[in-house]
Amino acid sequence: MPARRAAGPGGGLEMLAGPHAVLEALRAGGRPLRRILVARREQGPELAEILRLAGARQIPVEHRPPEELEQRSQGIRAQGILAEVGPFRYREPEEVVSAALRKSEPAFLLVLDGIQDPQNLGAILRTAEVSGIHGVCLPKDRAVLVTGAVVRASAGAAEHLPIAQVTNVAAFLSWLATQGIWVVGADQQGERVLYELDLTVPLALVIGGEGRGMRPLVKRRCDLVARIPQRGQVGSLNASAAAAVCLFEVVRQRRSPAGGPAGGGTAGH
């Protein structure tokens, strides 16, 4: 397959800032934590749980002045807690897809074509995790990586998701088709209305980058391109809002006793 994983940025340590990000990194256990820094005045139930999990994993906890944490947090608001962690561990694309196909329900993947803003990516990953997505695939180039800022914006949800990087998104979508996965792109110029599609089939949902949407070649590799019906005057939803609408339409259909779209039709027809 033409899509390959890229190593995390550098081989050194990264900073996670904020109690949600640090707590979810501890709960997920996906990457090593070297130490946790806590502001001396910090307290509360989240800190108590962080200290409990850190103790169980024998991770050193150091109490420091609050201003030192803010200086170390690399421009991200620390909220009294920092953790030094290893680089985010990306999965192999084949591993993510194979695991999704082995689930007891139809595969449910999210492919992002060039999200540039860490806040947008974090918001999308948070929604994706809550929706029960089986995996997320990001471009290797010309897109934001899963940084500490992204993890914080996701409220730590990124730590729980299988996330892969792919070298060529269009080629990856073509390969997904050979695995029996329907590829549906979201675009306001789409020929079909999202709510008319059957999204209960094995599915990869494609969301384009801010402003420009999906690149033309990526759009051409989708089996269908769907639009979200709008009634207001604003041109379109932003990437994170569009992703939320699409992801939870999939959730709605898969939880509905009748299943399938409200208006008939399938993702493949």
Using the predicted structure, report yes or no on whether residue 43 has a pLDDT greater than 80. no
For residue range 165-199, list pLDDT tens digits in order.
999 999 999 999 999 999 999 998 888 999 999 99
Which part of the chain has CATH 3.40.1280.10? 93-255
The 3-state secondary structure of 51-108, one letter per residue = HHHHHHCCCCEEEECHHHHHHHCCCCCCCCEEEEECCCCCECHHHHHHHHHCCCCCCE
Residue 138 in contact with residue 126, Cβ under 8 Å? no
Which part of the chain has CATH 3.30.1330.30? 14-85
From residue 125, how far is each of 18, 72, 138, 183 by CA, in Å? 17, 25, 11, 19
From residue 202, how far is each of 40, 108, 147 by CA, in Å? 50, 6, 29
Q: pLDDT value at position 111?
A: 98
Question: Does the structural domain 14-85 have CATH classification 3.40.50.300?
Answer: no
Which CATH superfamily does the domain covering 93-255 fall into? Answer: SPOUT methyltransferase, trefoil knot domain (3.40.1280.10)
Between helix 239-255 and helix 118-131 the angle, nearest 10°, is 0
CA-based nearest residue to 132, from 255, 239, 3: 255
Using the predicted structure, report yes or no on whether residue 11 has a pLDDT greater than 60. no
Other Cβ atoms within 10 Å of 178 Cβ, number: 8
What global pTM score does this model have?
A: 0.86
